[in-house]
């Protein structure tokens, strides 16, 4: 066989993601606020795009594809899609799943937080949101001002000269939302090109500002500042503050020996200690306000079902400006390059509108299935949260699991119980007597309820929690209970016993 160069022609198949397909995938995973930013950039780049409400005649314009996939919901799925355009709320008769359950006496769709089986996690904020007393005006004012703004308004009267004021303002900029200074003063002095003594003096001025305890570098220093402000920082209190780790462990006898006080004085010192604020900065608005804006709105309807809609306030609508297209087409009819550019912009505008429309349908379809699966949570609280996986939802809506994963990323659903990320409704499950399983979140909530209600003299061990949960139909191992207990920040039985002993003093 002779060796030499030659040309071969081969044919093969491969999957290539076009730029438009990559962009569609990014749009699916983006939140409504990110979509709003993307649309703003598209409006600037494409003169044929225009923001506004889509009228009925726009949907049938020539040049727009009429083969956009429409998601049909059968009666068996208890989902009815209205309007056919993807922007109407989906009416889900989820109540038909449980017609025989008692929905009276606290199971109505009232927005009152008192009727929700939600512990203290209601988003309404208590009685003040339901006709009770209005919130304190000072608390409202403080919540509207950031901690940095509040401190900067006071620093002028607390410093002795401009140089100290400059250092103090720099330190205020380094204080975190909780009110602490998480930086080494030596590093600050090096960055500013000044001495350590000058930085310490400026920090002393900052620590005299309101609220008391601000600018501390540790919890002990924060408490000590507040104790000095209250004129309670005597040698006994100083030793108590220096041994906060013993307070956390509940070593009462050792603390009384260190402080050299009797039972009555120690109880008084402990009450004083608990009156101080360990995070004084949290009374003010955070420096970077990152309030969550929901993408999906869920409200109960009059038929014991649910209405699901996208949050249109954060989702501008797009239309193609046909008049402007005709005007540009006529003015540049003799220029092939202009004609090619115009056709490209028109195709881009149609594609973007089609992609956004399909995104809306996919999000609504996924959210509707989640609400159907987690109907008990929305009606009765976290104790009814069921185990759910991405695959289950994907199989029900006949989409790929990766698509459901992208849809539920960075998306938030607002309901009467609060605002939740869609990922929250997916959790692992544990065995239960009814055969359906129970969500790990529901188990954690139940463990917290049991430990909160336990007798201080008979603190529940992990094995006792296992027995109590088994009586309620949850089959868990002791190590699983311990893992869930630690996940929600609940200490061991010995730690809780010491803590409850301190609470009783």
Task: Concatenate the DSSP letters of all residues of 122-133 into one string.
Answer: -TT-SGGGGTSP
Please tell me the predicted confidence (pLDDT) of residue 96: 37
Residues in the chain: 505
| Domain total in the chain | 3
Q: Is residue 403 part of a domain?
A: yes
Helix H or strand E encompassing 90: strand 90-92
pLDDT at residue 201 in the model: 92
Does 169 lie in the same domain as 210? yes
Asked if 267 and 203 sit in the same domain, the reply is: yes
Place of tokens 């009228």: 55
Q: What pLDDT is stored for residue 274 in this prediction?
A: 87
Query: What confidence tens digit (pLDDT) does each residue in 308-345 have?
Result: 998 877 777 788 888 887 887 777 566 788 788 888 88
- Write the CB contacts of 498 (distance below 8 Å, at least 6 apart in sequence): 249, 250, 251
Pairing of strands 318-320, 429-430: unpaired
> Are residues 366 and 478 both part of a single domain?
no
Tell me the C-alpha distance between 277 and 219, whole Å: 10
| Residue 271 shares a structural domain with residue 156 | yes
Q: Write out residues in the chain with pLDDT < 70, as ranges.
A: 1-2, 15-17, 52-144, 285-291, 332-334, 383, 428-439, 502-505
- Between CA 374 and CA 383 the distance in angstroms is 11
User: How distant, in Å, are the alpha carbons of 24, 30, 32, 42, 502 from that of 38?
Assistant: 12, 10, 10, 6, 55
- In sequence order, the β-bridge partners of residue 50 are 319
> What token pair was written down for 233?
């920082």
Statement to judge: residues 177 and 154 lie in one domain: yes
Q: Are 388 and 420 in contact (CB under 8 A)?
A: no
Assigned domain for 4 exists? no
Task: Say which residue the tokens 């309820």 belong to.
Answer: 449
Confirm whether 100 is domain-assigned.
Answer: no
CB 92 within 8 A of CB 306: yes
Instruction: Give residues with Cβ within 8 angstroms of 343, minimum separation 6.
Output: none
Position 286 scores a pLDDT of 66
Report yes or no on whether pTM surpasses 0.85.
no
Q: Are residues 259 and 318 in the same domain?
A: no
In-domain check, residue 454: yes
Range of the domain at 339: 19-71+293-384+391-421
- Residue that is written with structure tokens 């402000």 in the block: 229
Residue 374, Cα to own-chain centre: how many angstroms?
19
CATH number at residue 451: 1.10.10.60
Phi and psi torsions of 414, nearest 5°: -105, 130
One domain for residues 254 and 366? no
163 and 39 assigned to the same domain: no
């Amino acid at each position: 066989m002779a060796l030499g160069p030659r040309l071969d022609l081969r044919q093969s198949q491969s999957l290539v993601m076009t730029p438009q397909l990559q962009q569609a995938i990014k749009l699916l995973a983006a939140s409504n606020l990110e979509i709003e930013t993307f649309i703003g950039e598209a409006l600037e780049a494409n003169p044929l795009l225009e923001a506004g409400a889509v009228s009925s005649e726009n949907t049938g314009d020539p040049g727009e594809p009429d083969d956009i996939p429409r998601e049909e919901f059968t009666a068996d799925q208890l989902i009815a899609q209205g309007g056919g355009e993807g922007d109407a709320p989906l009416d889900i008769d989820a109540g038909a799943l449980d017609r025989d359950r008692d929905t009276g006496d606290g199971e109505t769709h009232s927005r009152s937080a008192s009727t929700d089986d939600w512990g203290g996690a209601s988003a309404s904020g208590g009685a003040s949101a339901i006709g009770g007393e209005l919130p304190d005006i000072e608390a409202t004012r403080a919540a509207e001002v950031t901690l940095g703004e509040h401190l900067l308004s006071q620093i002028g009267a607390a410093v002795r000269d401009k140089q100290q004021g400059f250092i103090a303002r720099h330190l205020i900029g380094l204080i975190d939302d909780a009110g602490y200074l998480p930086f080494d003063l030596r590093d600050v002095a090096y960055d500013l090109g000044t001495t350590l003594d000058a930085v310490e003096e400026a920090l002393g001025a900052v620590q005299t500002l309101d609220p008391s305890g601000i600018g501390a570098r540790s919890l002990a220093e924060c408490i000590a500042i507040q104790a000095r402000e209250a004129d309670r920082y005597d040698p006994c209190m100083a030793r108590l503050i220096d041994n906060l780790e013993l307070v956390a462990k509940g070593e009462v006898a050792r603390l009384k020996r260190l402080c050299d006080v009797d039972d009555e004085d120690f109880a008084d010192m402990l009450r004083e200690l608990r009156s101080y604020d360990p995070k004084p900065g949290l009374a003010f608005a955070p420096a970077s306000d990152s309030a969550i804006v929901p993408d999906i709105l869920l409200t109960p309807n009059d038929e014991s079902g649910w209405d699901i809609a996208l949050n249109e306030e954060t989702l501008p609508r797009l239309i193609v400006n046909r008049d402007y297209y005709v005007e540009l087409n006529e003015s540049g009819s003799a220029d092939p390059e202009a004609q090619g550019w115009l056709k490209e912009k028109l195709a881009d505008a149609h594609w973007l509108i089609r992609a956004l429309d399909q995104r809306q349908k996919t999000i609504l379809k996924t959210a509707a299935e989640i609400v159907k699966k987690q109907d008990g949570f929305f009606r009765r609280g976290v104790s009814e949260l069921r185990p759910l996986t991405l695959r289950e939802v994907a199989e029900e809506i006949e989409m790929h699991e990766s698509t459901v994963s992208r849809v539920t990323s960075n998306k938030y659903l607002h309901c009467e119980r609060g605002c939740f990320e869609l990922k929250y409704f997916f959790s692992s499950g544990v065995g239960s007597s009814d055969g359906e399983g129970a969500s790990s979140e529901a188990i954690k909530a139940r463990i917290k309820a049991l430990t909160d209600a336990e007798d201080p003299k008979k603190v529940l061990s992990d094995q006792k929690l296992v027995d109590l949960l088994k009586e309620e139909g949850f089959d868990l191992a002791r190590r699983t209970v311990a893992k869930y207990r630690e996940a929600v920040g609940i200490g061991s039985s010995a730690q809780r016993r010491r803590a409850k002993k301190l609470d009783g003093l």
